[in-house]
């Protein structure tokens, strides 16, 4: 996940652009939670409330669905800011949505349609890795044509080490192969002490999804069926992931799903063209930049927001919003 800024040269160019032309700042979030957060995806509820207060006072919050038309017409209001969430975690409904309503700020939530009610694979990995290391369990798993063995020779054994090593091996697998490996890891740790509860560290259920999208404050968008790196898939498999997510979510919420978010920000291998083909109207990636008149509507950039308090959020935001 990227955080606001990026490389210094790119940051300076974007800052200068933002002071010269009308633009919007699109913010990206994943979770609003106080849970342990091994991937750095969460903003605490207290700090999220502080950030919303800053956005309400210093910015002009817009719904993402309004932005492509305003960008194309060169009519983006000054100090425009847009909120988005990726993945569709349950805490976005139970924690973030009430705060968004309290501050009167709209948001778009891009949901992994094939994971409704379940953990996403990296969270399942983190939970199982925590249990395995808590009990000092050795791990040997077949992955592809080779075996994964932990502890590794010359590598300090730790929960983070196991999680990172397995994440690197699992990310490139297709969803079926990945789940098979995690099933085997689950069998290894079954019955071991220390297994953590899932709680809200899961995707919304179908019923929760309908609650999340109810009303006008939150727009539901698609984030594929299984959250793959699209550039590693065949064209046909990309179509299944992209169009399938829209079909499934529209059936669940009973309304049009217009927006898409690329998993891992991966827009390679013609994914943007397939998103347009599937009938989406716009899409977000993960590049850190402002959105302005010449920004491609199927490659809207975003700044990922860390767990900042209000003053730090205000200081950062003032650098990027136009005067």
CATH code of the domain in which 70 resides:
3.20.20.370
> In terms of residue numbers, what domain contains 262?
8-117+201-320
In a domain, 195, yes or no: no
In a domain, 67, yes or no: yes
Residues 313 and 239 in one domain: yes
In a domain, 196, yes or no: no
Enclosing H/E stretch for 128: helix 121-134
In a domain, 26, yes or no: yes
**CB of 209 closer than 8 Å to CB of 88:** yes
In a domain, 1, yes or no: no
**Phi, psi of 178, deg, nearest 5:** -65, -45
**CB of 283 closer than 8 Å to CB of 275:** yes
User: Which residue is listed with tokens 């000054």?
Assistant: 78
Residues 85 and 25 in one domain: yes
For residue 322, what pLDDT is reported? 78
Q: Is the pLDDT of residue 19 over 80?
A: no
Q: Is the pLDDT of residue 30 over 70?
A: yes
pLDDT (average), residues 29-41: 94
Q: How confident is the model at residue 268 (pLDDT cuts 50, 70, 90)?
A: confident
For residue 21, what pLDDT is reported? 65
Residues 91 and 226 in one domain: yes
Number of domains in the chain: 2
117's tokens: 């009610």
Q: Where are the beta strands (DSSP E) in 167-217?
A: none
Residues 104 and 157 in one domain: no
For residue 6, what pLDDT is reported? 44
Residues 141 and 25 in one domain: no
**CB of 38 closer than 8 Å to CB of 163:** yes
Q: Who's near 156: CB < 8 A, 6+ residues apart?
A: none
In a domain, 149, yes or no: yes
Residues 83 and 229 in one domain: yes
Residue ending a domain, choose from 164, 189, 214: 189
In a domain, 85, yes or no: yes
pLDDT (average), residues 154-165: 86
More confident residue, 149 or 322: 149
Q: Is the pLDDT of residue 223 over 80?
A: yes
For residue 203, what pLDDT is reported? 97
Mean predicted lDDT score pLDDT of the chain: 90
Whole-prediction pTM = 0.91
d(CA 76, CA 60): 10
Residues 312 and 239 in one domain: yes
Residues 216 and 100 in one domain: yes
For residue 194, what pLDDT is reported? 44
Q: pLDDT tens digit string along 173-217?
A: 889 999 999 999 999 888 554 445 678 889 999 999 999 999 889
Residues 26 and 82 in one domain: yes
More confident residue, 166 or 134: 166
Residues 150 and 95 in one domain: no
Residue ending a domain, choose from 153, 168, 189: 189
For residue 156, what pLDDT is reported? 73
In a domain, 194, yes or no: no
Residues 216 and 305 in one domain: yes
Residue ending a domain, choose from 189, 214, 238: 189
d(CA 302, CA 289): 6
d(CA 195, CA 193): 6
As a whole-number percent, the residues of the chain with pLDDT over 70 amount to 91
Residues 32 and 145 in one domain: no
């Amino acid at each position: 996940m990227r955080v606001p800024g990026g490389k210094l040269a790119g940051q300076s160019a974007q800052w200068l652009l933002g002071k010269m032309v009308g633009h919007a700042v699109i913010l990206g979030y994943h979770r609003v939670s106080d849970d342990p957060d091994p991937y750095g995806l969460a903003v605490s509820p207290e700090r999220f409330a502080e950030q919303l207060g800053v956005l309400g006072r210093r910015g002009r919050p817009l719904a993402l669905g309004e932005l492509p038309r305003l960008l194309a017409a060169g009519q983006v209001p000054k100090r425009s800011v847009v909120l988005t969430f990726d993945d569709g975690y349950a805490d976005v409904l139970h924690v973030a949505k009430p705060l968004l309503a309290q501050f009167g700020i709209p948001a778009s939530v891009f949901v992994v349609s094939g994971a409704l009610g379940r953990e996403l694979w990296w969270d399942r990995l983190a939970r199982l890795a925590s249990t395995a290391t808590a009990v000092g369990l050795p791990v040997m798993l077949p992955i592809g044509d080779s075996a994964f063995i932990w502890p590794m020779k010359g590598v300090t054994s730790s929960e983070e080490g196991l999680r990172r090593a397995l994440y690197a091996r699992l990310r490139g697998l297709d969803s079926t192969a990945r789940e098979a490996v995690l099933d085997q890891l689950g069998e290894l740790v079954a019955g071991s002490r220390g297994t953590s509860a899932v709680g809200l560290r899961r995707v919304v259920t179908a019923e929760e999804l309908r609650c999340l999208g109810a009303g006008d404050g939150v727009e539901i968008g698609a984030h594929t069926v299984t959250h793959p790196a699209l550039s590693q898939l065949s064209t046909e498999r990309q179509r299944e992931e992209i169009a399938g997510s829209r079909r499934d979510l529209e059936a669940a919420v009973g309304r049009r799903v217009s927006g898409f978010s690329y998993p891992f920000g991966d827009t390679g291998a013609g994914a943007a063209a397939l998103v347009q083909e599937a009938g989406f109207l716009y899409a977000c990636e993960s590049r850190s930049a402002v959105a302005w008149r010449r920004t491609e509507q199927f490659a809207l950039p975003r700044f990922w927001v860390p767990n900042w308090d209000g003053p730090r959020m205000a200081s950062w935001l003032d650098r990027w919003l136009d005067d």
